[in-house]
Amino acid sequence: MSNDVPAGEKRPVFAGNWKLFGTLAESVALATDVQAGVAGVDGADVIVAPSFLALATVTARLGAGGPANRVAVAAQDCYWEAKGAFTGEIAPAQLVDAGCRYVIIGHSERRQLMGETDADVNRKTRAALGAGLKPIICIGETLAERDGGTTLAVVERQLDAALRDISDADLGRSLVAYEPVWAIGTGRTATPAQAQEVHHTIRTRVAATRSAAVAAALPILYGGSVKPDNIRALMAEVDVDGALVGGASLSADSFVRIVKEGTEVWLRS
């Protein structure tokens, strides 16, 4: 397994979002167990996203394994300013300094619980790209929006807003995660067909506003109650390029199974 992706080669991506879980010791143990577990997996990009406090320690420990089998590290959020009087915030360059290569942006928990807006998500995405981080931009509808029939319009609005003023080259370093809010932490995953419909809409939107090549290259991850027993069906969908995993990424066993089974399906299809 390697995270050094040759240009133009698309690989499945599996990211574990650890949210607000884990002591420093637990985070290091989980990350090193994941790295050991996926060492034999060829052709996937594997990412873990510990809490801010564990980032530097986890990246230092994972880095010791060498680039050939290195699991990459993401932060769960960042601020859009590079420095200044912004008490409690963390700048993208500080994440790079801590060894991060990715950052999750616009997670629905941040949108819903911390009041993040589409404009904030855009500012954070641009700042992350400016610092050399790869943003994992999260979008997804609430249950009320799905029931109201506005899923595709909501997702397109969030996507357009997040990608405002981002160049095609920068979009080429970005990932999108479709996470229906009603499927997060509920055990109620989207059906593969529901995921595919939205992923296809996202790719079609990028093709229309950018180009077919940019759209084809964009990794679109699915998130929301992904487990070892549903990853195969999700990854079999043509526009599902990987998964952003919450609860099931807190166990190395289940996350490694998701990576292995998901990669196997990807390589076969």
Give the residues lining the site for ligand 13P (CB under 6 A). 17, 107, 179, 184-185, 223-226, 244-248
Q: How far is CA 182 from CA 96, 118, 140, 151, 201, in A?
A: 32, 19, 9, 12, 19
Toward ligand 13P, which CB reaches closer, 92 or 246?
Answer: 246
Least spacing, CB of residue 64 vs ligand 13P, in Å: 27
Active-site residue identified among 156, 179, 199, 237: 179
Max Cα–Cα distance, the chain, nearest Å: 51
- Catalytic status, residue 107: yes
Least Å distance, CB 189 to ligand 13P, is 8
Q: 98 vs 234, which CB is nearer to ligand 13P?
A: 234
Asked if 6 and 43 count as a contact pair (C-beta separation under 8 A), the reply is no
**SS3 of residue 11 by DSSP:** coil
Residue nearest to ligand 13P (CB): 246
Smallest distance from the beta carbon of 186 to ligand 13P, in angstroms? Answer: 7
Q: Work out how close the CB of 109 gets to ligand 13P at its nearest, in angstroms, rounded to a whole number.
A: 7
Q: What are the helix (H) ranges across 42-191?
A: 52-63, 92-97, 108-113, 118-130, 143-147, 151-162, 168-171
By beta-carbon proximity to ligand 13P, the closer residue of 68 and 260 is: 260
Query: Which one of 107, 145, 156, 199 is the catalytic residue?
Result: 107
Catalytic annotation present for 199: no
CA distance 232 to 236: 6
**């998901």: which residue's tokens?**
262
By beta-carbon proximity to ligand 13P, the closer residue of 95 and 248 is: 248
Q: CB-based burial of residue 75 (10 Å sphere; 0-12 exposed, 13-18 middle, 19+ buried)? A: buried
* Active site (catalytic) residues: 107, 179
